[in-house]
C-alpha cells in the first residue's frame, strides 16, 4: 500500500539508470517515481507522505546540487541522497554541508543504497510526525484567549497559582478556573496536577 513505506523520487537524466534504480528499489518494496530532471521534480505533484529524493549529481540544466537548495525555498523537506560517478571531495562536502543525507559514488553496493533510503524515509517519517505535533500544539495555543496565554506562561515558568493570582491581581480560584477552562478547550490534561 502506497504511503506505508513512503516513496522514493529518483531524478536522473539517463533513462537506463532510472530504469535500473526503479527495478532495484521496487524489488525490495519501495514505491518509486522516476523523473528525468530537477525541473520535472519541482513541477511534479508530490504526495504528502514520507519520502526520499535520490539524485545524480551530474545533470543538464538546473543541477541537482542546485535542486538541493530548491526544496528548502519551496518548503519541501525531503531527505536527499546523491549518487555520482564523477564526484570529488569538494562536491561531496558541498552536498553534505547543504544537508544531504548521503553521498554515494558509483559503483556502490545495492545494499548501501537501500539502507540509506530506508534511513532517509524513517528520518522523514519522524520529522513529519514532529512537525505534525508542533502544528497541533501551535493550533491549541492559538485557540487560547489572551488571559489564558498569560496564565499559561506564568504556570510553565514555575509559579504557583497563589503567586500568579498575586501577580495578576486575581483570586487563586480564578487562576485555577482559567487553567481548567483552557485545558478543556485544548483537550489536554491540566498544566499541572
CA–CA dist 111, 163 (Å, integer): 60
Residue among 65, 12, 55, 52 nearest 35 (CA): 12
SS3 148: helix
Higher per-residue confidence, 192 vs 90: 90
**Domain 143-185 belongs in CATH node 3.40.190:** no
- Rounded to an integer, the average pLDDT of 99-117 is 88
Residues of each domain in the chain carrying CATH 1.10.10: 143-185
| Candidate ranges 31-35, 65-69, 141-145; pick with highest mean pLDDT | 31-35
* 70-74, 91-95, 119-123: least confidently modelled range: 70-74
- Rounded to an integer, the average pLDDT of 71-99 is 72
Is residue 65 scored above 70 in pLDDT? Answer: no
Residues of each domain in the chain carrying CATH 3.40.50.2300: 7-136
What is the residue-averaged pLDDT of the chain? 80
pLDDT at position 96: 72
| Candidate ranges 28-37, 74-83, 99-108; pick with highest mean pLDDT | 28-37
SS3 96: helix
- Report residue 112's pLDDT band, with 50, 70 and 90 as the boundaries: very high
Q: For residue range 139-168, what is the model confidence (pLDDT) as tens digits?
A: 888 888 888 888 888 888 888 888 888 888
Q: For residue range 130-139, what is the model confidence (pLDDT) as tens digits?
A: 999 999 888 8
| Cell representation of residue 44 | 511534479
The Cβ of residue 147 has, within 10 Å, a number of other Cβ atoms equal to 15
pLDDT at position 125: 94
CA–CA dist 185, 74 (Å, integer): 34
Higher per-residue confidence, 175 vs 192: 175
Widest CA span of the chain, in angstroms? 74
Higher per-residue confidence, 184 vs 120: 120
CATH of the domain spanning 7-136, picked from 3.40.640.10, 3.40.50.2300, 3.40.50.300, 3.30.70.920: 3.40.50.2300
pTM: 0.71
Amino acid at each position: 500500500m502506497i504511503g506505508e513505506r513512503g516513496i522514493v523520487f529518483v531524478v536522473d537524466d539517463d533513462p537506463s539508470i532510472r530504469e535500473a534504480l526503479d527495478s532495484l528499489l521496487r524489488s525490495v518494496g519501495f514505491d518509486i517515481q522516476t523523473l528525468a530532471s530537477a525541473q520535472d521534480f519541482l513541477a511534479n505533484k508530490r504526495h504528502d507522505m514520507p519520502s526520499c529524493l535520490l539524485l545524480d549529481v551530474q545533470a543538464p540544466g538546473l543541477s541537482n546540487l542546485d535542486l538541493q537548495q530548491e526544496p528548502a525555498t519551496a518548503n519541501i523537506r525531503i531527505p536527499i541522497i546523491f549518487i555520482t560517478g564523477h564526484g570529488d571531495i569538494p562536491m561531496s562536502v558541498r552536498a553534505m554541508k547543504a544537508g544531504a543525507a548521503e553521498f554515494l559514488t558509483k559503483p556502490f553496493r545495492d545494499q548501501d543504497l537501500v539502507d540509506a533510503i530506508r534511513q532517509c524515509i524513517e528520518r522523514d517519517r519522524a520529522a513529519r510526525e514532529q512537525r505534525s505535533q508542533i502544528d497541533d500544539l501551535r493550533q491549541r495555543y492559538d485557540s487560547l484567549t489572551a488571559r489564558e496565554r498569560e496564565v499559561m506562561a506564568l504556570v510553565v515558568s514555575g509559579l504557583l497559582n497563589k503567586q500568579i493570582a498575586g501577580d495578576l491581581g486575581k483570586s487563586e480560584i480564578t487562576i485555577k478556573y482559567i487553567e481548567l477552562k483552557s485545558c478543556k478547550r485544548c483537550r489536554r490534561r491540566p498544566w499541572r496536577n
